[in-house]
């Protein structure tokens, strides 16, 4: 059975393997022992905190195959980004060059550096090993975060964002960064990517151009990738678009990948999730559901079709194995969401 739970300090080795498998561009899991340990410690502290408003908490979950003990995926939520370390984006806008005397009217796309998402909640660090990418595990990892957020809304902002991985080649080189490197930097994209992942962001404010960049001055290759995602990220983007996330012109500084956003109240999984009371028995459904308990530090979640729902009394029948995996008993409440 695949069970989602908060990460623990015993998961360091498994998290490092996930970080290695995630590849270039996955800056939220750098292959660095100190930073991974710090990320785990921060997550453990965040799950244990008594929180009434979002601050610098980071909630990192792991998906465990309970049969083998293998960690096969991760997913995470940053409660409020940019409060301690600035979060930079480019915002895509337009400027007009007009001369009535000459009869000239030109509209030009521009990129302006900003910190507009300061304080927003960010969903991030979704990764699933190749061996488990068939079926519903990926959809579960994406949507289960919204059940946790729906249950514990005081811990999160109403503005929720997701930074999508931009276009880069198999060696991790980004066409957009290539142009920036030639004109403003002397480091390659994997190096800049690693610095961001390790929290070394000072060079952004030191070297990044302060004035708007005219997009038509970029190379054709750089222009072509602005707002586009890496091929491996397209399924994740489609899932978020179905949830109601939209692209509103914000892109990453380094690979120009899009950032999408939604209001918490408008997220499909938040709106459609339901609270039900547990009954123990033999459950069966033609649909598969994400099922979660209501805890924070002891959060557990699974996906299964072994559940029967009675809409008349808002109860859910699950068997003892599922109840044990979720650490719930008869009479407890669970939150569910239809996955298929």
Q: Model confidence over 297-315: pLDDT tens digits?
A: 999 999 999 999 999 999 9
Nearest Cα to 79, choosing from 157, 194, 169? 157
The residues carrying an active-site annotation are: 230
298 lies in the same domain as 160: no
201 lies in the same domain as 235: yes
200 lies in the same domain as 153: yes
309 lies in the same domain as 215: no
Split into its structural domains, the chain has a count of 2
Q: Is the pLDDT assigned to residue 32 strictly greater than 90?
A: no
- CA 105 – CA 116 distance, rounded (Å): 30
Range of the domain at 319: 273-338
> What CATH number does residue 301 fall under?
2.40.40.20
**Residue 41 token pair:** 């410690």
**Partner residues linked to 59 by β-bridges:** 77
pLDDT at 139: 93
Structural domain ending residue among the three candidates 245, 269, 293 = 269
User: Is residue 104, in this structure, part of any structural domain at all?
Assistant: no
Structural domain ending residue among the three candidates 211, 235, 269 = 269
- 154-163 pLDDT, tens digit per residue, is 999 999 999 9
User: Is residue 34, in this structure, part of any structural domain at all?
Assistant: yes
User: Is residue 134, in this structure, part of any structural domain at all?
Assistant: yes
- More confident site: 336 or 206: 336
**Partner residues linked to 112 by β-bridges:** 91
- 194-253 pLDDT, tens digit per residue, is 666 666 666 666 767 778 999 998 999 999 999 999 988 898 899 999 999 999 999 998
| Chain mean position to CA 153 | 17
How many residues are recorded in the chain?
340
Q: Is the pLDDT assigned to residue 25 strictly greater than 60?
A: no
Crossing angle of the two packed helices 175-183 and 189-197, in degrees rounded to 10:
100
User: Is residue 259, in this structure, part of any structural domain at all?
Assistant: yes
C-beta atoms surrounding 183 within 10 Å = 11
- 91-148 pLDDT, tens digit per residue, is 999 999 898 999 889 999 999 999 999 999 999 999 999 888 888 999 999 999 999 9
């Amino acid at each position: 059975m695949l069970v989602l739970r908060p990460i623990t300090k015993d998961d360091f080795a498994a998290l490092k393997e996930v970080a290695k498998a995630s590849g270039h561009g996955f800056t939220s899991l750098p292959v660095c022992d100190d930073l991974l340990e710090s990320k785990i410690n921060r997550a453990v502290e965040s799950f244990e905190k008594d929180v009434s408003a979002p601050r610098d908490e980071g909630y990192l979950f792991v998906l465990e195959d309970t049969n083998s003990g293998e960690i096969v995926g991760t997913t995470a939520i940053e409660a409020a980004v940019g409060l301690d370390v600035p979060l930079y984006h480019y915002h895509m806008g337009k400027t007009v060059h007009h001369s009535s005397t000459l009869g000239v009217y030109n509209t030009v796309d521009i990129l302006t550096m900003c910190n507009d998402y300061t304080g927003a909640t960010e969903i991030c660090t979704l990764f699933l090993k190749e061996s488990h990418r068939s079926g519903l595990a990926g959809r579960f990892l994406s949507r289960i975060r919204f059940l946790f957020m729906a249950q514990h809304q005081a811990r999160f902002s109403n503005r929720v964002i997701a930074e999508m991985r931009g276009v880069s080649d198999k060696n991790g080189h980004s066409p957009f960064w290539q142009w920036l490197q030639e004109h403003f930097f002397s480091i390659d994209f994997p190096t800049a990517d690693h610095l961001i992942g390790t929290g070394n962001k000072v060079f952004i404010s030191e070297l990044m151009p302060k004035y708007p960049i005219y997009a038509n001055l970029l190379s054709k290759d750089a222009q072509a990738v602005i707002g586009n995602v890496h091929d491996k990220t397209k399924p994740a983007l489609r899932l978020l678009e179905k949830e109601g996330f939209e692209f509103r012109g914000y892109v990453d500084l380094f690979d120009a990948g899009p950032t999408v956003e939604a209001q918490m109240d408008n997220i499909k999984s938040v709106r459609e999730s339901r609270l039900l009371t547990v009954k123990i028995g033999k459950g069966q459904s033609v649909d598969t559901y994400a099922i979660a308990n209501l805890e924070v530090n002891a959060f557990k979640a699974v996906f299964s079709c072994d559940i029967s729902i009675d809409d008349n009394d808002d109860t859910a029948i699950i068997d003892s194995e599922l109840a044990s995996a979720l650490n719930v008993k008869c009479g407890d409440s669970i939150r569910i969401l239809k996955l298929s």
